[in-house]
Amino acid sequence: SYELTQPPSVSVSPGQTARITCSGDALPNQFAYWYQQKPGQAPVVVIYADTERPSGIPERFAGSSSGTTVTLTISGVQAEDEADYYCQSADSSAAYRVFGGGTKLTVL
């Protein structure tokens, strides 16, 4: 089955830049999406279609794509950004959706 691979954890100090990667063979052909999930809450999309930011999401959140890897970049990280982040995409047939394993972002 198709898999997306994320690092389990990323740690940054407030004000620094956090980068979370997600790798998958079908990413050159399928859009990627990023979700933020805080404890006890449902996930919320922060990036859609690789690079687009939904209304209401701070400008410090950005997405990029290069080959089989997509990256979520959070510039000027704030304490409130501490959360789990999941990438999501589809397999090459677009029939099956899949999530990455998730990355815990810790703000030191």
Partner 1 sequence: QVQLVQSGAEMKKPGASVKVSCKASGYTFINHYMHWVRQAPGQGLEWMGIINPNDGSTHYAQKFQGRVTMTRDTSTRTVYMELISLTSEDTAVYYCARDSRDTTMVRGPSWFGPWGQGTLVTVSS
User: Which single residue is written with the structure tokens 């999501």?
Assistant: 88
Beta strand 44-47 pairing with 33-37 = antiparallel
The contact mask relative to partner 1 for 69-88 (x = CB under 8 A, - = no) is -----------------x-x
Q: Give the one residue of 9, 78, 96, 108 binding partner 1; rule: CB under 8 A.
A: 96
Identify which range of 17-25, 62-70, 72-80, 100-108 contacts partner 1 by CB under 8 A. 100-108
Close Cβ partners of 50 (under 8 Å, ≥ 6 residues apart): 31, 32, 63, 64, 65, 70
Identify which range of 14-22, 33-41, 63-71, 73-81 contacts partner 1 by CB under 8 A. 33-41
Contact 75, 57 (CB under 8 A): no
Assess 99 for contact with partner 1 (CB under 8 A): yes
Q: Residue numbers of the site for partner 1 (CB under 8 A)? A: 1, 31, 33, 35, 37, 42-45, 48-49, 52, 86, 88, 95-102
